[in-house]
Structure 1
């Protein structure tokens, strides 16, 4: 799996976690103090996120960074 595919898996995971929390992109963006396009771009794999971004996103969604990483690992391992 290449980097773009991994980025897409992460974006899909974050979108799923956001939806499971009952949030829309605008909700998360407001919590992050960023424009809604920031959320849209990382969810669609158009933008990379670094570790500090990922930690802030997880907090905004209401999940732990550890949960995000564990579920990402599962998604990548599943192919």
Structure 2
């Protein structure tokens, strides 16, 4: 699921028209934080996922990921 979650987060960021730098600024983080998340170098915990999901429905995203894993 990890690769699927990262792909989903990247797709949602891009669909929102945000660069890594812009997303990082919205989160109060550095661009390198977003880059590490998106490259898989850093795990996404639940609280961070909910922050990242500020622009989309996290329940819908989890449903989408569960369908991918079936």
- What TM-score results when the alignment is normalised by the length of structure 1? 0.79
Give the ranges of 4+ consecutive aligned residues of structure 1 lying more than 3 Å apart after TM superposition.
none
Cα distance in 1 between the residues matched to 2:60 and 2:39: 20
Q: Which ranges of structure 2 fall in alignment gaps of 5 or more residues?
A: none
Deviation of 1:53 after TM superposition, in Å, equals: 0.6
Size of the aligned set, in residue pairs, is 70
Deviation of 1:75 after TM superposition, in Å, equals: 2.7
Deviation of 1:38 after TM superposition, in Å, equals: 1.1
Q: Which ranges of structure 1 fall in alignment gaps of 5 or more residues?
A: 1-5
Give the direction of change, closer, same or farther, for the CA distance of 1:71–1:31 in structure 2 (3 Å limit): same
Instruction: Give RMSD over aligned pairs.
Output: 1.2
- What TM-score results when the alignment is normalised by the length of structure 2? 0.87
